[in-house]
Amino acid sequence: MRTIIEPFRIKSVEPIRMTTRAEREELLKAAHYNLFGLHSDDVLIDLLTDSGTGAMSAAQWSAVMRGDESYAGSPSYYRFEAAIRDLMPFTHIIPTHQGRAAEAILFSLLGGAGKNIPSNTHFDTTRGNIEGTGARAHDLVIAEGRDPSSLHPFKGNMDTDRLIAYLDQHGDSVPCVMLTITNNAGGGQPVSLENIRAVSDIARARGLPFIIDGCRFAENAWFIKSREPGQADRAIRDIVRDCFSVADGMTMSAKKDAFANIGGWLALNDDALAERARTRLIQTEGFPTYGGLAGRDLDAIAQGLAEIIDEDYLRYRIRANEYMVERLDALGVPVVQPAGGHAVFIDARKFLPHIDPLHYPGQALATALYLEGGIRTCEIGTVMFGRQPDGSEIPASMDLLRMAMPRRTYTQSHCDYLIEVFADLVRARDSIRGFRIDWEPPMMRHFTCHFAPLA
């Protein structure tokens, strides 16, 4: 097999500013060792998120120029709507400025005190928008999805037995069933078409709307094509349509699998619910043919959706992560297996066993990667989840480091550089120290808290 090359050439570039280790030591200190506090031009390779950080194509930039900024009835909206409906056959398509705005509108209508909402794993903003209404959010992913070393091909699947028991237990308090494809908070792991259909059958048999969080729908479809029996010869577009044709609605962040820097949507089939959502949209986002976006953003999304289902792109996209996982595994770095769709996750607790979880091994590894190589990543562990509502602190179930890959942005030599930095960290791992938190805000502390290195 030959190298799977980046299926694009580069026409416009952004320089990366080189920094020295000594500079990075000072920059880290000034940011209180919180990588969110860095200026991004002090970062060599930025793997903080894959959200809104990808490269647009020449065709998308052309579409931006075509954008029509009419307040109502813009042709850009109709191109946006048609591009979505080509993949996701929903009746009502409601633009929003990003994914969490779609969630906020949906749960302002379906949530509320006493309600219970299941998913495989809710993303943080989804959970936040559910809990913000007084409802409760529950994660029912299969057991393999919580085991970093399990090689199950669809670790994002919902545990359907648990879902049935959950619906029996919670009865009328459940307003809908959700499913996140791919399962971001669970390592970017996919959900099979069989599982999507099974969850849909269970929800619809009880008259409950089935809503997909479709942020990474194209990556998920590629996994279905390459791993699910009987799917190998099917077009990605047909697989995507199959996934969404059994759903009653979706929330979407166009910052992921629509190749856009901003945008999202809420789609629904139910006329009455859509009417209420549009009223809410006018109150919070804007008129229903722009929803908080510029016309040019709508056109960039429409074009991005045509590009994201390209098989050469998806093959390269998933292969790039597999390549990193294979190389890191060969170095003895404990990577979450198999590779996810949008990110490579490291089991930091296992990599740094001498650091107590309450001294944040994920943060220690993230800081070491920046210091050694100028690479910015994100802790997903005790810093993010350890603080309890009663003020106590307990270790999260896992201490992971997420290396999220922006789309079409970095090349294989950037990956090779990252692997070389890891090789140095493997040699130096015993000298990596944990942290304590010096200051934190009352909630969502990981964005702004201050750390101090332990001696």
Residues 182, 341 contacting (CB under 8 angstroms): yes
Q: Rule CB under 6 A: is residue 123 a binding residue for ligand F0G?
A: yes
Q: How far is the CB of 18 from ligand F0G (least distance, A)?
A: 26
Among 94-102, 287-295, 391-399, 415-423, the segment contacting ligand F0G (CB under 6 A): 94-102
Task: Select the residue interacting with ligand F0G from 55, 177, 215, 352 (CB under 6 A).
Answer: 215
Task: Select the residue interacting with ligand F0G from 116, 125, 129, 189 (CB under 6 A).
Answer: 125
Residue 413's Cβ-count burial label (10 Å; 0-12, 13-18, 19+) is exposed
Residues 149, 345 contacting (CB under 8 angstroms): no
Q: What is the DSSP letter of 423?
A: H
**β-pair partners for 180:** 213
Give the span between the Cα atoms of 48 and 377, in whole angstroms. 5
Task: Select the residue interacting with ligand F0G from 255, 387, 407, 446 (CB under 6 A).
Answer: 255
Q: Nearest 5°: phi and psi at 380?
A: -125, 90
Q: How many CB atoms lie within 10 A of CB 68?
A: 17
Nearer to ligand F0G, 355 or 410 (CB): 410
What six digits make up the tokens of 60?
């998308």
Tokens 């003895």 identify what position?
A: 332
Footprint (CB under 6 A) of ligand F0G, residues 10-69: 49, 51
Over the window 163 to 202, marking each residue x when it contacts ligand F0G by CB under 6 A and - when it does not, the resulting string is: -----------------x---x------------------
- In single-letter form, the type of residue at position 82 comes to A
Residues 283, 301 contacting (CB under 8 angstroms): no
Over the window 258 to 297, marking each residue x when it contacts ligand F0G by CB under 6 A and - when it does not, the resulting string is: ------x---------------------------------
Q: How far is the CB of 43 from ligand F0G (least distance, A)?
A: 15
Q: How many CB atoms lie within 10 A of CB 391?
A: 7
What six digits make up the tokens of 247?
């759903």
Give the span between the Cα atoms of 161 and 289, in whole angstroms. 41
Among 92-100, 146-154, 285-293, 296-304, the segment contacting ligand F0G (CB under 6 A): 92-100
Among 22-30, 79-87, 96-104, 132-140, the segment contacting ligand F0G (CB under 6 A): 96-104
Among 98-106, 308-316, 323-331, 445-453, the segment contacting ligand F0G (CB under 6 A): 98-106
Interface ranges with ligand F0G (CB under 6 A): 49, 51, 98-100, 123, 125-126, 180, 184, 213, 215, 253, 255, 264, 404
